Amino acid sequence: MARAKRIAFEVNGRRHELSVASNQTLLDLLRALGYFDVKCGCEKADCGACAVLIDGEAVDSCIVLAAMADGRRVTTVTGLGTPEKPHPLQAAFIENGATQCGYCIPGMIVAAKALLDRHPEPTDAEMRFGLSGNLCRCTGYTRIFSAIREAARALKAKGVRP
C-alpha cells in the first residue's frame, strides 16, 4: 500500500495543499486537480505530451512523483498566457499553423518556453535538442521551428526575456 505524504505547491499561480500517495505521478495529480491541458500520452517519458515546467525547467510529469512538487512552482501551458493575451509562443504556434491535432502542443510549447529561457535566439541544432523529448506525429517540425523563431523575434522586439 502506498503511503501518503502532505505537500504544498503552486500550479499556474494557484496554491494547492493536499496529501498524495507515494507512488502518484505529477501527471495524475495535475489531471485530478483539473489541469487537463497536461496531456497523458505514453506514460514513460517518450512523447513529451505531459511536459510542464517545474521552477522553470521542462520535465515529463508522467515520470515525476507528485511528492517531488512539494514547495515548487509548476507551470502548465495555460499558465503561460490567456486567450485574450497569449504568450508569444502560443500566438506564434497558431499563426504558423504549428498546431494540427493539438495533442502534443501543450508539452511542445512548454518545452519551447524552457528552450527560449536558455537560448533566446536558438539555432536549429538548439531547437532540435530542446525539443528532442517531444514527439509530433502530425506537423513534422518545420512549422514548429518557424513558430519558435517568430516567438523569439517577438520577445526580442519587446525587450522581454522569454
47-90 pLDDT per residue, tens: 999 999 999 999 999 999 999 999 999 999 999 999 999 999 99
For residues 51 and 61, the answer to whether their CB atoms sit within 8 Å is yes
For residues 122 and 152, the answer to whether their CB atoms sit within 8 Å is yes
If one counts the domains in the chain, the total is: 2
State residue 95's pLDDT score.
96
CA angle 147, 95, 59 (to 5 degrees): 45
What CATH number is associated with residue 22? 3.10.20.30
State residue 160's pLDDT score.
74
Q: Write the DSSP assignment of 65-131 as a string of letters.
A: BGGGGTT-EEE-GGGT--SSS--HHHHHHHHTT--TT-SSHHHHHHHHHHHHHH-SS--HHHHHHHT
DSSP state of 65: B
* C-alpha grid cell, residue 136: 509530433
For residues 94 and 113, the answer to whether their CB atoms sit within 8 Å is no
Same domain, 69 and 111: no
Same domain, 72 and 109: no
The C-alpha atoms of residue 88 and residue 117 are separated, in whole angstroms, by: 13
What CATH number is associated with residue 151? 1.10.150.120
State residue 43's pLDDT score.
94
Same domain, 108 and 71: no
Determine the structural domain holding residue 8 and report its residue range. Answer: 4-79
* C-alpha grid cell, residue 134: 517531444
79, 101, 125 - which closes a domain = 79
24, 50, 79 - which closes a domain = 79
State residue 161's pLDDT score.
63
The whole model's pTM is what?
Answer: 0.94
* C-alpha grid cell, residue 62: 508522467
State residue 1's pLDDT score.
61
- N residues, the chain: 162
Measured from the Cβ of residue 56, the count of other Cβ atoms closer than 10 Å reads 11
Same domain, 15 and 75: yes
Same domain, 106 and 57: no
- 3-51 pLDDT per residue, tens: 899 999 999 999 999 999 999 999 999 999 999 999 999 999 999 999 9
Same domain, 25 and 68: yes
59, 79, 99 - which closes a domain = 79
- 86-145 pLDDT per residue, tens: 999 999 999 999 988 889 999 999 999 999 999 999 999 999 999 999 999 887 799 999
Residue 162 has pLDDT above 70, yes or no: no
